[in-house]
Structure formats: structure tokens, C-alpha cells
Amino acid sequence: MHQRPFLDLPQLALLLANLLPLFGVWHLGWDAGSVVVLYWAENLIVGGYTVLKLLVAGRERALFPALFFCLHYGGFCAVHGLFVLKLTGFPALPEVQAASWPFPLLLVEKFLALSRQVLAAAPPEFLWACLALVISHGASFLLLFIGQQEYRNKTANLLMKEPYKRIAVLQIAVIGGGFLVQQLHTPMGLLLALVALKIAMDILLHRRVHAATETAGSGPAHVRKRSGTAGQTQPDDPPADPPIQ
């Protein structure tokens, strides 16, 4: 029986991307605020790939769910980002200008303004770390979601819930640890431990999500006998997305 490697290619890319904050802490003088804000920015990357997943899995049927997700998740990340900035004591940011977009898009405007301000106050190497995370999540998207056809076992509801579950499990632990490190004036050992904790939880969550997808796609329900073709079996059609209420 073929034994899987301890880390497959998407997990290895995830590990390497998560080592960049470690380099930033060790050699570039990043503090806890910079590290935790980078992890907040990763939520935006995950949200972008979620939109792509919705469009791949649902095609034209996913246009409304994707739009709804952008509005809801963007507003959620904006509020979450403000909380992170206040909690970590990230460098002071300029005031957000008065709203000029229509009311339904107000949260999106605040989100875009907050993102620009975070990038302006972040360390110069911040964008390189973000690019590494984009490549890491892109490897998972191309090799697993597309390459292994995980989209055949994903519904719109499941796809839209995954980023929120990630934030609930991962960000609470990371932000809580980052706040503790910040209060202790960023001791190097605890800050490195925070980065290591995030790497471990990221890989565990990655394995859990994709293992659940493999289980959903490998059960006996995918092979059934059809009437009139005795002795022959054919795979079931991929599950269709239920309508979004």
C-alpha cells in the first residue's frame, strides 16, 4: 500500500509561507502586532480564494452567493481588523474618511480603506509575506480543489462557512497569544512560540478540511447499480448545490 508523505506539496507550501513571519521576527525586528496583522491579512487571501471556489463549483449559479459572501465576509473582516489593530497596538492609522459609497456597500468601503491603511503602516517586507501566502493557498486551490476535483463534493453553503470556521478556531488562539506577547513586551521566545503555534494549527486545519472532502467523495454512495444494467456499476453524478436561502 502506498504511504502518503508526512507533508504533501500544498502543506509544504503552507509551511514555507508561515516561516516568513518567523524570519521577520528573528531578523527584521517584527513585533507581535506585525505578525498578528499579517495573519489578519491572510483571512483576506482565504476569502479571495473562497470566491474563486464558489465560481468553480457553482459557475453561473454561484454569482449571487459569491456577491453575498464578498459583502458579508468583507464587513466581517473590517470589524475583525479594527479589533486586531486596537488589541495589538499596531502603529496609529489615519482616520477613515467620511463614507461616499452607497449604504449597501458601506462596509466594503470601510474594508478597502482599512486595508490600504494597514499596508501603509506595515513593515516593508509585509507584501512579500502576503505574496507567499497567496502562493501557498493558490497551491492548495490548484492541486487539491481543481486538480483532485474537490469541487465536486462542495456546496456553496459549505464553501462560505469554511473561512468563518478558520477564523473561529485559528484566530482566537493566535490573537489571544499575540495579546499576551504584546503585554509582556514581545519576549522573543514567546513570539517564536506564537508563530510555531499558528503553523501547527494551520496544517492541522488544512488536513481536517481536505480529509473531510476525501471522505465525502470516497464512500459507497458514489457507486450504485442502475436499473436495466444488471451487474454494471456507474459512479453517481456529483452532488448539486442546494439553493441559497
| CA 143 centroid distance within chain | 16
Q: Do the domain assignments include residue 245?
A: no
Q: Please, is 118 exposed, middle or buried when counting C-beta atoms within 10 Å of its C-beta (0-12, 13-18, 19+)?
A: buried
83-114 residue pLDDT tens: 777 776 666 455 555 556 666 666 667 777 77
- pLDDT above 60 for 42: yes
Q: Do the domain assignments include residue 138?
A: yes
Cell of 218: 470516497
Give me the pLDDT at residue 10, please. Answer: 78
Q: Do the domain assignments include residue 156?
A: yes
Could you tell me which of 120, 46, 31 has the C-alpha nearest to residue 80? 46
Cell of 37: 496583522
Reduced DSSP (H G I as helix, E B as strand, rest coil) percent helix, strand, coil of the chain, to 5: 75, 0, 25
Q: Do the domain assignments include residue 240?
A: no
Cα maximum dimension of the chain: 73
Q: Do the domain assignments include residue 9?
A: no
Q: How far is CA 184 from CA 1, 35, 78, 82, in A?
A: 50, 15, 27, 22
196-242 residue pLDDT tens: 777 887 788 777 776 766 665 554 444 333 434 444 444 444 444 44
Could you tell me which of 176, 194, 197, 191 has the C-alpha nearest to residue 26? 191
Q: Do the domain assignments include residue 150?
A: yes
d(CA 75, CA 87): 18
Helix (H) or strand (E) holding 216: helix 188-217
54-94 residue pLDDT tens: 999 988 888 999 989 988 888 888 888 777 777 766 664 55
Amino acid letter, 212:
A
Residue 223, by phi and psi: left (phi above 0), alpha (psi -120 to 50) or beta?
A: beta
- Residue 102 exposure: Cα atoms within 13 Å on the Cβ side: 3
Interacting residues of 35 by C-beta distance below 8 A, sequence separation 6+ = 21, 24, 25, 178, 191, 194, 195
Q: Do the domain assignments include residue 6?
A: no
Give me the pLDDT at residue 245, please. Answer: 42
Predicted confidence band of residue 20 (pLDDT cuts 50, 70, 90): confident
- Residue 176 exposure: Cα atoms within 13 Å on the Cβ side: 8
Range of the domain at 73: 18-215
How many domains, the chain?
A: 1
Give me the pLDDT at residue 228, please. Answer: 42
Q: Give the Cβ contact number of residue 47 at 10 Å.
A: 18
Q: Do the domain assignments include residue 3?
A: no
d(CA 69, CA 107): 13
Strand, helix or coil at 235?
strand
